[in-house]
Structure 1
Amino acid sequence: PPQHAPSMAAPGRDGELRRTFPALPAPPPVPAASGASDASAGPRFAATWWGNAWVTALEEGALDAKRLARGRSYAEQGHVDAITVTPGLVLAYVQGSRPRPYRVQVRLRTLDDAGWARFLDAAVERPGHIAALLDKELPQSLADCGVPLLPGPRDLEPHCSCPDRGHPCKHAAALCYQTARLLDADPFVLLLLRGRGERELLDALSRLNAARAARAAQDQEPAPLPGVRATEALAERRLPPLPQPLPVPPHPEQPPV
């Protein structure tokens, strides 16, 4: 690659809804005893189930296995520069056969407010979900809450400045493979792609979890005792007159009726 190739790296512009990752080194090789098939031979781009789900969506949606293989090779050889992730978009420059790198982007539909509400409700339903997210883990049960967190085979939309109209071209495939490694290390990258930043999500989860704990504590409290308002108890009032005393019985041993 040329020494002064364009780069998407701009850490100074990063914020809640923008994260920039420097160019990744070569991925680790797959152990010889893993029994990988020819289609997945070579370095491993994901070790987690959600990272592999991203790779599966890419490979099952690809229309040309040869372009896919070239993309894997480009990713292995470090042709993908710094990667920028924003809601619904992954961008990077990828070095191809020409001196000037190509500008590549992969789009993914973001979740609407109703989808995020379902995700947050599912996340606070089990205490272990929030702890797992803080440990950079994505529980399978959380991904199966009815919200499409992970992409399907036709959900990734690649765009590249190269003349190749393949779906995806080798440059977009290389970017997708390297993006799988980012998701593998931090599932909040996937959540950012779907539209929400890490701090916003953690704040929302904290509020929902606190409200849920307060409701649970209220349900465990005993029912309040019946009472009278102080203004009613202290109000001036007239009591009815006492009844007339009972007549004296004619004989001491006989009580009144």
Structure 2
Amino acid sequence: MTARGFPAFAPGRGRRPRTWWATAWNRAWEADALDAGPLRAGRRLATAGHVGPITVSPGRLAAAVHDGDAEQAYDTRIRVAALGDDDWARLAGEVAARAGHQAALLAGQLPRDLAEASGVPLLPGLGELTPECDCPEWDHPCRHAAALCHQVSWLLDTDPTLLLLIRGREARTLVPAGAAAPGADASAPTVAATGDGPASSKRSTEAGTAAAEAYAGALPPLPPGPGPVAGGPTLPLLPPGPDVDVDALRSAVAVAAGRAAALLHTHRGADATPVPTGRDPG
């Protein structure tokens, strides 16, 4: 399973978690703290941008954290107890039973009721989070570990499914194979671009075509135009203008006007007053 890396946050004003999962994460790890002082100091380090790029991997968070001198950064890690196989099986069963949970995970969201419905605690409990830092402090956690945990809550604001990776597995492992992403039409076939036009288009059960390959393919010809509608309404004269093909514009207007007239006549019924028609002078 591949770890995920995130660039360092820039220094800024005090930032509080905005989402439910980020707030719940902070409550969970702060519950293990023995002293509130390092927590406040860690928040100041996080806000000042003293935390380097963060690596999130199964059961482990890591970053270099410093007190103001980046040349003297400390190697800071947070180890989080991973969920067991039985827990993951219950989570997967709950996701498989509810299409809404599948759609949420595919959209990068983490349903708040997933833990309650499955009976699996996603947030780390007491003793399940172990801070490690090579600084000389004895606090649990030290201010450097607290700074890292604060910034992880900012990551969860953007992608709450990272909590699943922190607990041992990626979110996609919970989604049944073949589940459709939100907004996707499951009944529509996937067309693979081969660069030979529509004659070579085919249905595909694969994930799709890479954007670079699709854009490199030859464009198929446009379908033929519908042509003017017989007996369409008389059109006004269209004066010529720069970069305007008057004949093409008149043809398009004639088609639209003719269709509109035909629809209007149909909906008015047989006893309605006939719609005046005439021949297109162009």
Report the TM-score when normalising by structure 1.
Answer: 0.64
One-letter amino acid of the structure 2 residue matched with residue 109 of structure 1: A
1:191, 1:197 within 8 Å by CA — same for their partners in 2? yes
Match of 1:57 in 2: 28
Match of 1:194 in 2: 167
- CA shift for structure 1 position 175: 0.2
**Cα distance in 2 between the residues matched to 1:130 and 1:188:** 12
The answer to whether 1:80 aligns with 2:48 is no
The 5 Å alignment of 1:1-257 reads 16-26=1-11, 42-44=14-16, 46-96=17-67, 99-144=71-116, 145-202=118-175, 205-206=176-177
- Classify 1:51/1:153 alpha carbon distance in 2 versus 1 (closer, same or farther; 3 Å): farther
Larger CA Rg, structure 1 vs 2: 1
2:50, 2:68 within 8 Å by CA — same for their partners in 1? no
- CA shift for structure 1 position 97: 5.4
1:105-137: CA deviations, max 9, x gaps?
001111121111100011122211111112222
Report the TM-score when normalising by structure 2.
Answer: 0.59
**Cα distance in 1 between the residues matched to 2:6 and 2:91:** 26
1:55, 1:177 within 8 Å by CA — same for their partners in 2? yes
User: What is the SS of the residue equivalent to 2:89?
Assistant: helix
Gapped regions of structure 2 (runs ≥ 5): 181-282
1:31-52: CA deviations, max 9, x gaps?
xxxxxxxxxxx421x2111111
2:57, 2:165 within 8 Å by CA — same for their partners in 1? yes
Q: Could you say what the CA RMSD is over the residues aligned between the two structures, in angstroms?
A: 2.0
One-letter amino acid of the structure 2 residue matched with residue 87 of structure 1: P
One-letter amino acid of the structure 2 residue matched with residue 102 of structure 1: Y
Instruction: Determine what percentage of the aligned residue pairs are the same residue.
Output: 48
Compare relative contact order (CA 8 Å, sep 6+) and give the higher one, 1 or 2.
1
- Classify 1:201/1:127 alpha carbon distance in 2 versus 1 (closer, same or farther; 3 Å): closer
Gapped regions of structure 1 (runs ≥ 5): 1-15, 30-41, 211-257
Aligned length: 178
One-letter amino acid of the structure 2 residue matched with residue 60 of structure 1: A
